[in-house]
Amino acid sequence: MGIIDDTNWLIIAPATHAVILAGDMNRVQKWQELCTEFNLKIVAIIYSDYNGVEDYIKLETPVLKGSVHHLERGEDISTRRMAQVLARLLVQMSHM
């Protein structure tokens, strides 16, 4: 989750859904407000817990919530629980 600025509309404008990934949960509300402004349906709110040792799934429906641990650029996270649950959710949405 980056900083909200004027360039966000380039990414958001054609979108229909959003996944909020936050290292600072205090910034999630501003992203939720931006999604509402652009009529995006939020499908997941995920805390990026860099120092964590395992993923945590708090709620799967209607909005996936939980955490993903130790995200490191270039590292394969496909076997992690949050990545698998999020992938399954996105695949299910694509078949609707």
- Range of the structural domain that residue 74 is part of: 8-94
Torsion-angle region of residue 74: left (phi > 0), alpha (psi -120 to 50) or beta? Answer: left
Query: What pTM was estimated for this model as a whole?
Result: 0.90
The answer as to whether 75 is a domain residue is: yes
Q: What value does the mean pLDDT of the chain take?
A: 93
Q: Which of 48, 92, 42 is nearest to 66 (CA)?
A: 48
The answer as to whether 1 is a domain residue is: no
Provide the percentage of residues in the chain whose pLDDT is more than 90.
80
The answer as to whether 35 is a domain residue is: yes
The answer as to whether 31 is a domain residue is: yes
The answer as to whether 3 is a domain residue is: no
Q: Residue 85 has which token pair?
A: 């649950």
What domain count does the chain have? 1
The answer as to whether 70 is a domain residue is: yes
**Tens digit of pLDDT for each residue in 11-55?**
888 999 999 999 999 999 999 999 999 999 999 999 999 999 999
The answer as to whether 62 is a domain residue is: yes
- Whether the per-residue pLDDT at 59 is higher than 60: the answer is yes
Q: Are 72 and 51 in contact (CB under 8 A)?
A: no
Query: What does 20-49 look like in DSSP terms, one character per residue?
Result: EEESSGGGHHHHHHHHHHTTPEEEEEEEEE
Residue type at 77 in one-letter notation: I
Supply the pLDDT for residue 51. Answer: 96
**Tens digit of pLDDT for each residue in 75-95?**
999 999 999 999 999 999 988
